[in-house]
Structure 1
Amino acid sequence: MSPVPAPAVPRTGPPAGPPPRPAARRRADIEEMFTGERHLWLATAGPDGPHMIPLAFAWDGTDLVMMTRRGSRTVANLRRTVRARAALGTARDVVLVDGPVSLREPAELPGRVRALFDRLPLNPDRVPGVIALCLRPERISAWRGLPEIPGRTVMSGGDWLG
């Protein structure tokens, strides 16, 4: 007697989920995440390969501002290659931010940015030897589930799309 083959399972397309958010809603959600979240993952590249660390950050309306120690691997990588990627959110609510990072002396930053330092554990007023990392978004991708993957790029060239 020969085995009976299992019935074929028909493919019905991508899993159902909520419809994609309009561009304006997605932008508002990203800006809310920038002001409401406290931590991100920052990825840089160096001669030994990729390097990713968690950092506290503050959004000044233009840049994601972080502090780290001057002698860190992250700073060494950014001195070689000024580009980085930040990741915020969860696997189901993803925001990726790509752009150049400028290394700045904390005292040189405008007062409105220095006022945000209280949100950061490495506040230069309390912790000596830190330097500011200012990530200027050039490209932002964001998605909540598979239905949003096709339109995930919401900023390109530093300009919001849609």
Structure 2
Amino acid sequence: MAQRREDVLALLQNERHLWLASADADRPHLVPFAYAWDGACLTILTRRTSRTVRNLQGGGLARVALGTARDVVLVDAEPEFIEPEEADERTSALFASLPMDPRRVPGVIGVRLRPQRILAWRSLSEMRDRLVMRDGTWMA
């Protein structure tokens, strides 16, 4: 479990793109995003009028996928919206590391995704022990 946690943290730190799933009453929505990891949360930027924003505002949880089919990490996360002009210095630095930096791209909003549950596995043999975070707390 300790090694799996370290591997998940390394992936979160080193990867730069994720797939984010959200849904409304009609259908699911899955889109790729560049992201920044601050050690506790994933941060993305998107247009404030996007379907993703509408879905997350109405639905609560988001699901994020990183990695490949043979080394996957799934993150269920609570979204928090951040107005660029209200971002603290640390969050502004995260925004600056992303392609849609609000200083260059008008009309975007930040979305901080706080992990609540993380599943990770590399093969069928790891399926049984894939839960590495529950209720925002890393498993032992």
Provide the TM-score with structure 2 as the length reference. 0.96
Are 1:42 and 2:20 counterparts?
A: yes
Maintained 8 Å contact 1:46/1:80: yes
1:35, distance to aligned residue in structure 2 (A): 1.2
Q: How many residues align?
A: 140
Amino acid at match of 1:116: L
Matches within 5 A, 1:6-155: 23-155=1-133
C-alpha root-mean-square deviation of aligned residues, in Å? 1.0
Deviations 1:45-103 (A, max 9, x none): 11221101000000112210000001100011111112100000000000000021011
Structure 2 counterpart SS, 1:149:
helix
CA shift, 1:128, in A, is 0.7
Question: Structure 1 counterpart of 2:19, which letter?
Answer: W
Work out the CA distance in 2 between the residues paired with 1:107 and 1:126: 13
**Distance (Å, rounded) in 2 between the aligned partners of 1:57 and 1:128:** 18
Runs of 4+ in 1 over 3 A off after TM superposition: none
Q: What are the Cα deviations for residues 82-137 of structure 1, in whole angstroms up to 9, with x where unaligned? A: 21000000000000000210111123233122212232111111101000111100
Q: Give the unaligned 5+ runs of structure 1.
A: 1-22
- For structure 2, the residue ranges without an aligned partner over 5 or more in a row are none
Identify, as 1 or 2, the structure richer in strand: 2
- TM-score computed with the length of structure 1 as normaliser: 0.83
Q: Percent identity?
A: 54
